[in-house]
Structure 1
Amino acid sequence: MTDHVRIGVLGAAMITPAAVIRPARSSTVAEVVAVAARSTGKAKAFADKHGIARVHDSYEDLLADPAVNAVYNPLPNGLHGKWTLAALEAGKHVLCEKPFTANADEAASVARAADASGLVVMEAFHYRYHPLALRVAEIMRSGVLGPLRHVEASVCFPLPMFSNIRYDYSLAGGAMMDAGCYAVHMARLLGGEEPEVRSAKALLRGPSIDRAMRASLRFPSGHTGSVHASLWSSTVFKLSMKAIGENGTLTVLNPLGPQTVHRLSLKLKDKRSSETFGKRATYDYQLDAFTDAVLHGKPFPTTADDAVKNMTVIDSIYRAAGLPVRRPTP
């Protein structure tokens, strides 16, 4: 049993400093020790900028490095599954960026490999590890809202850079993949069950890429749901989730990045209350959970099996909108 999580990073993604490099600096049990990118020059520049000791010429070389016992995978969506599987084959734990894979079938393949390996595979839904989301889950479990009527989640932000990989179908891009995977995950958290997709409508950027998506859901117990995701639409910026029950309403402002600003509001028949939490970043809590799972076997919510369920809903939304399900990048 190792007493330290030594992370190798696949690629030089912009999210990496916030997601693992800065959190690791304040951790006593985690360290980013290596990086590989599409070119050695790019990897070296990234390593020099962020103080990473080891640079590898390829992803394969990084996975073969005995100094690395865990991998952070922030590659484009269509490559998540391939390189998570490769990391598992190399005996490495994996923190994989969302969305977990290109589609539910690929997610199921990775989940089977994760189960067989005995290694930790965590989908990087960082928001889920913040005290705000933990409190939301507690409220929903308590039943204080009474029987649920409706839940909704919106993750909308402007990204008008249309050359960005999020608009590339060959890399499994799209608003529902990038922003919508959060909205679906939040709706599932609030709804407490796995929903059926009743309808979906996309705004397009090209024939197969959604720049925005809305979908209607229904849960087995009868309550409804809606999700809204946008990278470019008239809804410029909206980060929220809401649950409406017979006894009251839970509303959350900015569940995605609560370290900047947030609010949890609970309105019941006989009282109203609001709560806020600290400024520690979601990514710090996520790394704590990852290292606890690796070092101590502590359970965590964003498992590979959970990822299969999330990708199943995403695939159904694409089908309901008349768009093709995303495919792994060859």
Structure 2
Amino acid sequence: MIRIGILGAAGIAPQALIHPVRRRSDMEVIAIAARSLESAAEYARVHGIPRAYDGYDALLAADDIDLVYVALPPSEHIRWSIAALETGKDVLCEKPISMDAAQARSAAAVATRTGRHLIEAFHDHYHPLTAAVKEVIDSGALGKIVSIAASFTADNPYSPTSIRHVPELGGGALMDLGCYPVHWLRELGGAEPIVMGATYTPNELGADITIDAQLRFDTGPHADATGSLHASMAPGVSFRAPVFVTGERGTLSVDNLVLPHLGHSVRTVIDGVTRTWTVAGRETYDHELDAVVRALETGEPADTEGDDYVATMEVIDAIYAAANVKRTVSGAAA
């Protein structure tokens, strides 16, 4: 039995962890920590968690917790992930793993030194849909890949108190939403893309409310292909997470790569023949927990560990630099 403690009374935790864990017999959530005991106790009561802790250090001091789920603002991800690793615990950390690539590299080094797992929670990667799309692209069925376009948009009304809009806490469209298209481009392109340019629209606090980037693949199986990224949390935008791949023989489109269990379709048009299909699977979070358990049991790294999250943050850094976004990295690792 893998015993889990949650850092942060976060709204994402029931969907991403608590409910999926309850569908399993090899994991259980036994503790929650928040900045106040009152908040932790109320969260524990609502979600049926046995123990509540006043502060994150108190939970990390418990010797019967195997895995820590970090559900804090991105500015706090590395600080508390490293703290958990240092106490001998494995970590599943919400995306994005850190505020920049330097932080990601520091955390990866600690994970290596302690011999523990630090897994970034790109749950969508573990759904069979991602592998199926990549298989079509890599099979050559589309011919030589010309371009890959990925985007993620979701209406997120501005509030100066929302962590999604405060740049010092890791807010902004690229960090909150665009990290997914960055991951898709890296994975489907089969190599690390080069950022050619980027533009953004700031909110009142300077965080990117909309951001666009142009990329190119210089290496890998689809060298010379271009990439494009769009992320927006502007008022009125629809929830959409599509990917569109163009090859010399045809196209492939996916209308919901981020949460395929809520409904999706894949459409290919190859040599003039159209095919529309879906890929069976459970909730993305169930597949992610399969990977977490496998990593903890075998000692082998999960796909979204180490080099993977460092590379994702390197692309995010490059997009922000190309767009001339002013960034403040707080909560840096000591």
TM-score (norm 2): 0.94
Find the residue that maps to 2:329 and give its secondary structure.
coil
Structure 1 window deviating more from structure 2 (110-119 vs 79-88): it is 110-119
Amino acid in structure 1 at the alignment position of 2:252: L
1:266 and 2:263 equivalent? Answer: no
Pick aligned residue for 2:217 from 199, 216, 219: 219
- Aligned pairs, how many? 327
Find the residue that maps to 2:212 and give its secondary structure.
strand
Amino acid in structure 1 at the alignment position of 2:162: N
Give distance in 2, aligned partners of 1:301 and 1:275.
Answer: 26
- Mind listing any 5+ residue stretches in structure 1 that lack a counterpart? none
Find the residue that maps to 2:142 and give its secondary structure.
coil
1:50 and 2:52 equivalent? Answer: no
Pick aligned residue for 1:240 from 242, 258, 266: 242
CA offsets 1:118-174 (integer angstroms, 9 cap, x no match): 211110001001111121122233232222110010100100042311101221211
CA RMSD of aligned residues (A): 1.5
| Per-residue deviation, 1:291 | 1.1
Pick aligned residue for 1:125 from 119, 122, 126: 122
Structure 1 window deviating more from structure 2 (297-306 vs 270-279): it is 270-279
Structure 1 window deviating more from structure 2 (167-176 vs 132-141): it is 132-141
Partner of 1:75: 72
**Contact preservation (8 Å) 2:156, 2:235:** no
Give distance in 2, aligned partners of 1:268 and 1:92.
Answer: 48
Matches within 5 A, 1:307-326: 307-326=309-328
Give distance in 1, aligned partners of 2:311 and 2:204.
Answer: 28
Partner of 2:3: 6
| Per-residue deviation, 1:233 | 5.3
**Contact preservation (8 Å) 2:117, 2:301:** no
**What is the percentage of aligned positions where both structures have the same residue?**
42
| Per-residue deviation, 1:205 | 0.2
Judged with a 3 Å threshold, the aligned counterparts in structure 2 of structure 1 residues 299 and 146 are, in CA distance, closer, same or farther, namely farther
Judged with a 3 Å threshold, the aligned counterparts in structure 2 of structure 1 residues 60 and 183 are, in CA distance, closer, same or farther, namely same
Give distance in 1, aligned partners of 2:302 and 2:33.
Answer: 28
**Contact preservation (8 Å) 2:155, 2:236:** no
Matches within 5 A, 1:1-330: 4-162=1-159, 163-206=161-204, 208-220=206-218, 221-232=223-234, 235-269=237-271, 271-278=273-280, 280-329=282-331
**Contact preservation (8 Å) 1:172, 1:329:** no
Find the residue that maps to 1:165 and give its secondary structure.
coil
**Contact preservation (8 Å) 2:199, 2:323:** yes
**Contact preservation (8 Å) 1:260, 1:279:** no
Give distance in 2, aligned partners of 1:243 and 1:297.
Answer: 35
TM-score (norm 1): 0.95
CA offsets 1:277-310 (integer angstroms, 9 cap, x no match): 3462111111111111112235432112101101
- Mind listing any 5+ residue stretches in structure 2 that lack a counterpart? none
Amino acid in structure 1 at the alignment position of 2:50: A
Give distance in 1, aligned partners of 2:136 and 2:308.
Answer: 20
Query: 4+ runs of 1 displaced by more than 4 Å?
Result: none
Find the residue that maps to 2:241 and give its secondary structure.
strand
| Per-residue deviation, 1:325 | 3.7
Amino acid in structure 2 at the alignment position of 1:94: V
